[in-house]
């Protein structure tokens, strides 16, 4: 057999089991196994609620993939596209550049992602629980609410700080509500101002009973036991909206300072982009787990809709199913290599287990029903042995035993780092910030040029939407709005930048009025305006050829040694090649206001290395540059390094062309592409 390359996308329950099974059957010389995962670890999600409730340390619920999967090439990179016809995938490399890899077989095991948009306001005000980062943030939030409650002198507000709302009565909702209830109530004795009746933990579920997968007597047991422990149940109620103060139900409002949302999931972006039949966002498969109509592409776990041959039903999105599919999929791939017939996926559920807090659980295993302490002990035993490696089993077992003797840890670790103002250097192609990242810094470009790249469903690999040059800044919107970065910023040339940490930036921007005003103006300018929002305008700008707008720069050019008096002559140059500076009307007025002598050389007051666009840029980038810099004319150069003058471009001409193609915008609030003053003169040395 020639050496095959099998690529697995996703290092969750399904992907890891598949990789382990393949490696145990296929020798390294026969098959190269490559596993892509966004993080370098597997998240053991059934224990996330324990991490939230401080029953376990955060690191206990993750297992490093490369320690788990020897002889598998683990790549901590995100797959962005899968080309089924060409048997190739595209991924974002370590340096942010797109790269490709071919495969003989691919196993898609990307799971799904939280979707807080199921309820209005949830995305802004609720905590999801899917990743270990979510668990860390939620735990820190709960502990900070307790710290605030301890020192709050308003009784109503104190009760609000201590009101926790969990939305969703499935496994993760029930386990999370149980853990929060245990954490807050058992830690009360360390807070002198927190009383038991100040605390409310509310579980809201849309059905009549919790835990639909478990038999009715056990559901009832869970409800009663949790209520006795202090959890308020609101059943048969749908959350209609979430606000900063709590959640709205039909005709009712539940106040609370913490909302946890365990409902709502959506397809991972790479699956959304994949052109393959889907059912409610999950990939449809053949009985043997191959993607519909594909010979060498397989899919397993939460992202797949696989019919279980055991009962003819679609497999539920659980870890138990994902693992079993991972194993059976690996066995089917080996069957294909050996020329044997593949088998349909078939699995009889072993049991259901759910911890409900207060050292109690409900369990159904091999036909037996258990509840209370014995079920809780079984729950812990099963999950301990389900952990994929011995070091984690011992660690988790130790942490659980520790909790039998000592109280839960109440340290509230914040991820703030000491703020600094630093200088940073970037080489062409380096990513300075990445789309989706949490905001951390504000950047001012001291020298060089960057491009703003945004990924969208139409342009998953990213599209350059703007460029910024020396003197420009970025990062302000995400910091002020406390939102993830809406676009990536990549160095076009060698870039030197001043980097300000969040706190330094916030305090300077608040206290320094001119900076504050400049920031507000920039935010208003960069907010998508009517031209950018109109899809037809964007389409037209993408289609226009920049070359059609370039006009020859009037010669002769100025020389840097020319005097202020001579600037009235436009576009003077020594050799007619390199653009070294620009003199705008503003520069001339400033020169006059600051008493620059008429015989002072132009190089004393020109803008050195001004913002330019290149002949290789798109009209979309040109439109953004006009708006960003507020110029009516922009110099166009052939190449960034040599800055050889190609000509200039006028905003008016571009606007006129857009109007011709798409007509004027219907609204009155048209923001002009260029708002700057005067025309520009280019300097050449
Ligand atoms: C809080 C909580 C509690 C749960 N409790 C239980 C329980 O008690 N019992 C149970 O059976 N199930 C439970 N589940 C469900 C279970 O965790 C999932 O069904 C299971 O993790 C699905 O496995 P998977 O391999 O399909 O996906 P996942 O485990 O979600 O793994 C998918 C992986 O793919 C990676 N990925 C995604 N897209 C890309 C990409 N483009 N490039 C590279 N990597 C990518 C992700 O980063 C992730 O690591 C729980 C889930 C949660 C959130």
- What does the pLDDT look like over 89-109, one tens digit per residue? 999 888 777 899 999 999 999
pLDDT (0 to 100) of residue 568: 60
Preceding amide of 556 cis, omega within 30: yes
Q: What is the spatial distance between Cα 212 and Cα 185, in angstroms, rounded to a whole number?
A: 27
| Ligand 1 atom nearest residue 46's Cα | 5
Test site for ligand 1: of 274, 318, 385, most ligand atoms within 8 A of the Cβ: 318
Across the range 66-79, mean pLDDT stands at 95
| Ligand 1 atom nearest residue 112's Cα | 30
In the reported structure, the alpha carbon of residue 4 is separated from the centroid of ligand 1 by a whole-number distance in angstroms of 27
User: How is 134-160 classified by DSSP, letter by letter?
Assistant: HHHHHHHHHHHHHHHHHH---HHHHHH
| Ligand 1 atom nearest residue 13's Cα | 25
End-to-end CA distance of the chain: 65
Does residue 141 surpass a pLDDT of 60? yes
Other CB atoms within 10 Å distance of the CB of residue 195: 13
Only one residue has tokens 């979510």, namely 134
CA dihedral 55, 56, 58, 62 (to 10 degrees): -140
Contact between 371 and 356 (Cβ < 8 Å)? no
Does residue 328 have its Cβ closer than 6 Å to ligand 1?
no
User: How is 189-232 classified by DSSP, letter by letter?
Assistant: GG-TT--GGG-EEEEE-SSSSS-TTS-HHHHHHHHHHHHHHTEE
Q: What is the spatial distance between Cα 486 and Cα 438, in angstroms, rounded to a whole number?
A: 10
Does residue 347 have its Cβ closer than 6 Å to ligand 1?
no
* Mean pLDDT, rounded, of the chain: 86
**What is the chain's length?**
685
Does residue 46 have its Cβ closer than 6 Å to ligand 1?
yes
Residue nearest to atom 7 of ligand 1 (CA): 46
| Ligand 1 atom nearest residue 111's Cα | 27
Across the range 151-177, mean pLDDT stands at 95
Does residue 9 have its Cβ closer than 6 Å to ligand 1?
yes
pLDDT (0 to 100) of residue 195: 93
Does residue 38 have its Cβ closer than 6 Å to ligand 1?
yes
Does residue 386 have its Cβ closer than 6 Å to ligand 1?
no
| Ligand 1 atom nearest residue 77's Cα | 43
In the reported structure, the alpha carbon of residue 552 is separated from the centroid of ligand 1 by a whole-number distance in angstroms of 58
In the reported structure, the alpha carbon of residue 303 is separated from the centroid of ligand 1 by a whole-number distance in angstroms of 9
Does residue 251 surpass a pLDDT of 70? yes
In the reported structure, the alpha carbon of residue 12 is separated from the centroid of ligand 1 by a whole-number distance in angstroms of 5
Test site for ligand 1: of 111, 387, 436, most ligand atoms within 8 A of the Cβ: 111
Which of the residue ranges 29-33, 183-187, 449-453 would you say has the lowest mean pLDDT? 449-453
Does residue 299 have its Cβ closer than 6 Å to ligand 1?
no
Q: Confidence band (pLDDT; 50, 70, 90) for 283? A: very high
Does residue 680 surpass a pLDDT of 50? no
Does residue 325 surpass a pLDDT of 90? yes
In the reported structure, the alpha carbon of residue 315 is separated from the centroid of ligand 1 by a whole-number distance in angstroms of 14
Q: Confidence band (pLDDT; 50, 70, 90) for 166? A: very high
Q: Tell me the sheet residues that pair with 466.
A: 452
Q: Confidence band (pLDDT; 50, 70, 90) for 626? A: confident
Does residue 41 have its Cβ closer than 6 Å to ligand 1?
no
Does residue 78 have its Cβ closer than 6 Å to ligand 1?
yes
Q: What is the spatial distance between Cα 661 and Cα 656, in angstroms, rounded to a whole number?
A: 9
Which of 128, 124, 227, 376 lies closest to 235, judged by CA?
227
In the reported structure, the alpha carbon of residue 135 is separated from the centroid of ligand 1 by a whole-number distance in angstroms of 14
Only one residue has tokens 């076009």, namely 492
| Ligand 1 atom nearest residue 304's Cα | 26
pLDDT in tens, 26-56: 999 999 999 999 999 999 999 999 999 999 9
Which of 218, 223, 221 lies closest to 208, judged by CA?
223
| Ligand 1 atom nearest residue 114's Cα | 53
pLDDT in tens, 637-679: 998 777 888 899 988 888 888 888 776 555 443 344 443 333 3
Does residue 502 have its Cβ closer than 6 Å to ligand 1?
no
Continuous segment of H or E residues that includes residue 647? strand 645-650
Comparing 446 with 289, the larger pLDDT belongs to 289
Does residue 321 have its Cβ closer than 6 Å to ligand 1?
no
Burial 277-294 (b: 16+ CB within 10 A, else e): ebeeebbbbbebbbbeeb
Does residue 420 surpass a pLDDT of 80? no
In the reported structure, the alpha carbon of residue 302 is separated from the centroid of ligand 1 by a whole-number distance in angstroms of 7
In the reported structure, the alpha carbon of residue 589 is separated from the centroid of ligand 1 by a whole-number distance in angstroms of 62
Does residue 13 have its Cβ closer than 6 Å to ligand 1?
yes
| Ligand 1 atom nearest residue 300's Cα | 26
Q: What is the crossing angle of helices 535-543 and 619-629, to 10°?
A: 110
Does residue 439 have its Cβ closer than 6 Å to ligand 1?
no
Q: What is the spatial distance between Cα 580 and Cα 610, in angstroms, rounded to a whole number?
A: 8
Does residue 363 have its Cβ closer than 6 Å to ligand 1?
no
| Ligand 1 atom nearest residue 36's Cα | 43
In the reported structure, the alpha carbon of residue 144 is separated from the centroid of ligand 1 by a whole-number distance in angstroms of 28
In the reported structure, the alpha carbon of residue 322 is separated from the centroid of ligand 1 by a whole-number distance in angstroms of 8
Comparing 67 with 423, the larger pLDDT belongs to 67
Q: Give this prediction's pTM.
A: 0.70
Residue nearest to atom 29 of ligand 1 (CA): 12
Residue nearest to atom 19 of ligand 1 (CA): 318
Does residue 156 surpass a pLDDT of 80? yes
In the reported structure, the alpha carbon of residue 110 is separated from the centroid of ligand 1 by a whole-number distance in angstroms of 8
Across the range 554-576, mean pLDDT stands at 69
Q: What is the crossing angle of helices 132-151 and 171-187, to 10°?
A: 30
Q: What is the spatial distance between Cα 475 and Cα 57, in angstroms, rounded to a whole number?
A: 33
Does residue 129 have its Cβ closer than 6 Å to ligand 1?
yes
Only one residue has tokens 């320690």, namely 67
Does residue 256 have its Cβ closer than 6 Å to ligand 1?
no
Residue nearest to atom 53 of ligand 1 (CA): 130
Which of 258, 13, 301 lies closest to 126, judged by CA?
258
């Amino acid at each position: 057999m020639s050496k095959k390359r099998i690529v697995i996308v996703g290092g969750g329950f399904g992907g890891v089991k598949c990789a382990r099974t393949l490696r145990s059957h296929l020798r390294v010389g026969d098959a190269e196994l490559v596993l892509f995962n966004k993080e370098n670890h597997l998240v053991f999600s059934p224990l996330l609620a324990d991490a939230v409730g401080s029953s376990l340390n955060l690191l206990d619920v993750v297992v490093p993939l490369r320690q788990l999967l020897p002889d598998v090439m683990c790549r901590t990179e995100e797959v962005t596209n899968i080309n089924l016809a060409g048997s190739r995938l595209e991924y974002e490399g370590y340096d942010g550049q797109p790269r490709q890899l071919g495969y003989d077989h691919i196993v898609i095991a990307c799971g799904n992602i939280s979707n807080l948009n199921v309820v209005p306001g949830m995305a802004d005000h609720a905590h999801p629980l899917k990743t270990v980062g979510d668990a860390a943030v939620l735990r820190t939030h709960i502990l900070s609410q307790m710290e605030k409650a301890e020192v709050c002198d308003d009784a109503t507000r104190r009760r609000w700080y201590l009101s926790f709302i969990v939305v969703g009565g499935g496994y993760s909702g029930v386990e999370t509500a149980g853990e929060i209830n245990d954490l807050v109530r058992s830690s009360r004795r360390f807070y002198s101002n927190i009383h038991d009746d100040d605390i409310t933990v509310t579980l809201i579920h849309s059905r009549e009973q919790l835990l639909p997968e478990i038999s009715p007597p056990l559901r009832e047991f869970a409800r009663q036991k949790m209520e006795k422990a202090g959890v308020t149940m609101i059943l048969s109620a749908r959350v209609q909206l979430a606000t900063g103060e709590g959640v709205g139900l039909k005709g009712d409002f539940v106040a609370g300072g913490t909302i946890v949302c365990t409902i709502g999931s959506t397809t991972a972006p790479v699956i959304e982009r994949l052109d393959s039949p889907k059912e409610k966002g999950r990939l449809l498969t053949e009985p043997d787990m191959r993607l519909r109509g594909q010979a060498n592409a397989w899919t397993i776990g939460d992202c797949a809709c696989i019919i279980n041959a055991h009962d003819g039903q679609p497999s539920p999105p659980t870890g138990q199913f994902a693992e079993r599919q991972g194993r059976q999929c690996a066995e089917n791939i080996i069957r294909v290599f050996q020329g044997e017939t593949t088998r349909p996926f078939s699995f009889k559920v072993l049991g259901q287990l759910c911890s409900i807090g207060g050292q109690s659980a409900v369990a159904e295993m091999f036909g037996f029903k258990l509840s209370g302490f014995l079920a809780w002990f079984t729950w812990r035993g099963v999950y301990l042995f389900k952990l994929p490696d011995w070091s984690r089993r011992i660690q988790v077992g130790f942490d659980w035993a520790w909790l039998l003797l000592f109280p839960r840890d109440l340290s509230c670790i914040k991820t703030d780092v000491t703020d600094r103002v630093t200088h940073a250097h970037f080489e062409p192609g380096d990513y300075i910030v990445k789309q989706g990242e949490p905001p951390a810094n504000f950047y001012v470009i001291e020298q060089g040029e960057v491009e703003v790249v945004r990924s969208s469903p139409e342009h998953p690999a990213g599209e350059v939407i703007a460029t910024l040059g020396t003197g420009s800044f970025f990062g302000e919107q995400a910091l002020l709005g406390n939102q993830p970065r809406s676009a990536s910023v990549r160095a076009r040339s060698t870039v030197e930048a001043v980097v300000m940490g969040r706190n330094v930036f916030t305090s300077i921007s608040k206290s320094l009025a001119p900076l504050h005003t400049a920031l507000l103006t920039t935010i208003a300018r960069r907010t998508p305006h009517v031209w950018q929002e109109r899809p037809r305008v964007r389409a037209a700008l993408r289609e226009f050829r920049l070359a059609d707008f370039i006009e020859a720069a009037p010669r002769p050019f100025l020389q840097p040694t020319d005097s202020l008096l001579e600037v009235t002559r436009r576009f003077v140059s020594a050799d007619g090649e390199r653009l070294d500076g620009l003199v705008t009307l503003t520069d001339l007025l400033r020169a006059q206001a600051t008493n620059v002598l008429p015989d002072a050389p132009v190089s004393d007051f020109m803008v050195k290395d001004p913002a330019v666009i290149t002949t290789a840029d798109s009209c979309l980038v040109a439109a953004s540059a006009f708006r960003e810099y507020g110029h009516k004319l922009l110099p166009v150069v052939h190449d960034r390094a040599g800055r050889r003058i190609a000509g200039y471009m006028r905003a008016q001409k571009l606007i006129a062309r857009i109007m011709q193609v798409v007509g004027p915008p219907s609204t009155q609030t048209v923001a002009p592409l260029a708002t700057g003053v005067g025309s520009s003169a280019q300097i050449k040395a």
